């Protein structure tokens, strides 16, 4: 159950309206006029809350739930307990996300963290030449530099720095302790606490007697609807820009090097590192702790398994894994063969008896 100190739910919604929003069918025995007031997991949901079943692992919990309504695939409908209304969907988890957004819209887009939405704090520092749109929130300790522009309804969190000349679009959430420099950010972007955008890329001309710094003269371009997790770093380009495409979702603790180009709708999971000048096509997936060598291309739709080390270009739509990364079927065969070798008995000669 959502803690009301942190999460504010909207007024109750009839089950029929919920079904219409998510494109689900209502089981014949369910009351479309039944009022729902929130969402919760199967094990704690009450009679006025909506839950969901997506993973068959939780069918037993579904059979025991006290939820007032549950989003479920039709094949599990016969396991429902008495009194639970059913919303039938081919994609229960996706449908649940839409219901959760319905009840908690602020949490889907980010909201102020201090408690004074729509206000510029007296303890914030905003340069006289900066431009703020309507209903912008600037929380205590934040700073907005010369010539920066912040779009309407955007939140700039506590102790966050928006550097000179940067632009941030409409309806963004820039969380606490974020730094943004040399960057242009689109609409509906979420930067979670501790994100660093636009700092120098790791550019040095190496040699004796010292490594010479190469000025990083590019920018970071973050397109609309991007979400970047806590403590992720995005270096600005060395000359060309670093670009993150529309709708891409990036987890915590990811490193994105200078000149990297990331396409639309990509998923990049925690502790992944992408070296400079690498290119990702649209809808690429990098699982946790993937490493990507610089100056290569992972083409659209490709997926890299966790801890994969990408050292060559990856064709479109392919699944790769391993170190170095290779087609996933080949990698799995190698893992099986290595396991067999590990189980093979020792064959050394026994010492001769005297």
Query: Which segments within 284-335 are labelled E, that is strand?
Result: 285-286, 291-292, 297-298, 303-304, 309-310, 319-321, 326-327
What are the structure tokens assigned to 286, written together?
A: 């990098």
Quote the CA–CA distance of 267 and 116 in Å, as a whole number. Answer: 33
Within 23-171, residue ranges assigned H as helices are: 59-64, 92-103, 105-109
Specify the 3-state DSSP secondary structure of 1. coil
Chain centroid offset of residue 286 CA = 12
DSSP 346: P
Decide: helix, strand or coil at residue 131. Answer: strand
* Whole-number Cα distances in Å, 22 to 18, 95, 156: 6, 5, 32
Q: Is the previous residue joined to 209 through a cis bond, with omega within 30 degrees of 0?
A: yes
Residue 241 CA: distances (Å) to CA of 17, 163, 260, 286, 297: 45, 17, 8, 21, 16
* 73, 182, 258, 312: the active-site residue: 258
| Residues belonging to the chain | 354
Q: How far is CA 300 from CA 62, 181, 348, in A?
A: 37, 29, 50
Helix axes 15-22, 92-103, angle to 10 degrees: 120
Whether residue 258 lies in the annotated active site = yes
Which residues does residue 102 pair with via DSSP β-bridges, in sequence order? none
**Which two structure tokens, joined as six digits, stand for 334?**
């190698």
DSSP code, position 87: E
* Distance from C-alpha of 4 to C-alpha of 113, rounded to nearest angstrom: 14
Contact between residue 170 and residue 209 where contact means Cβ atoms under 8 Å apart: no
Q: Would you please indicate which residues are annotated as catalytic (active-site) residues?
A: 258
């Amino acid at each position: 159950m959502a803690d009301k100190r942190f999460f504010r739910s909207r007024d109750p919604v009839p089950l029929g309206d919920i079904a219409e929003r998510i494109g689900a069918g209502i089981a014949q025995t369910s009351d479309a006029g039944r009022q729902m007031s929130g969402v919760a997991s199967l094990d704690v949901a009450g009679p006025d809350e909506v839950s969901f079943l997506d993973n068959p692992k939780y069918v037993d919990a579904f059979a025991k739930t006290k939820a007032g309504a549950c989003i479920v695939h039709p094949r599990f409908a016969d396991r429902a307990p008495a009194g639970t209304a059913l919303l039938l969907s081919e994609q229960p988890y996706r449908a649940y996300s839409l219901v959760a957004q319905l009840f908690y819209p602020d949490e889907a887009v980010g909201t102020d963290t201090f408690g004074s939405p729509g206000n510029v704090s007296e303890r914030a520092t905003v340069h006289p030449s900066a431009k703020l749109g309507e209903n912008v929130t600037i929380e205590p300790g934040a700073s907005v530099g010369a010539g920066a522009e912040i779009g309407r309804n955007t939140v700039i969190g506590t102790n966050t720095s928006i550097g000179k000349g940067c632009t941030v679009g409409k309806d963004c959430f820039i969380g606490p302790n974020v730094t943004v420099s040399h960057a242009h950010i689109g609409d509906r972007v979420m930067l979670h606490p501790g994100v660093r955008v636009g700092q120098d890329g790791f550019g040095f001309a190496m040699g004796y007697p010292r490594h010479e710094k190469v000025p990083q003269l590019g920018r970071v371009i973050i397109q609309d609807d991007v979400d970047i997790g806590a403590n992720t770093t995005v270096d600005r380009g060395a000359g060309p820009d670093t670009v993150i495409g529309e709708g891409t979702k990036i987890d915590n603790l990811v490193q994105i090097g200078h000149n990297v180009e990331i396409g639309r709708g990509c998923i990049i999971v925690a502790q992944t590192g992408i070296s400079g000048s690498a290119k990702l096509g649209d809808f690429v997936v990098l699982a946790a702790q993937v490493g990507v060598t610089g100056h290569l291309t992972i083409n659209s739709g490709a997926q890299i398994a966790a801890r994969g080390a990408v050292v060559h270009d990856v064709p479109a739509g392919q699944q790769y894994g391993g170190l170095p990364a290779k087609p996933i079927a080949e990698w799995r065969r190698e893992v099986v063969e290595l396991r067999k070798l590990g189980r093979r008995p020792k064959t050394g000669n026994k010492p001769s008896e005297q």
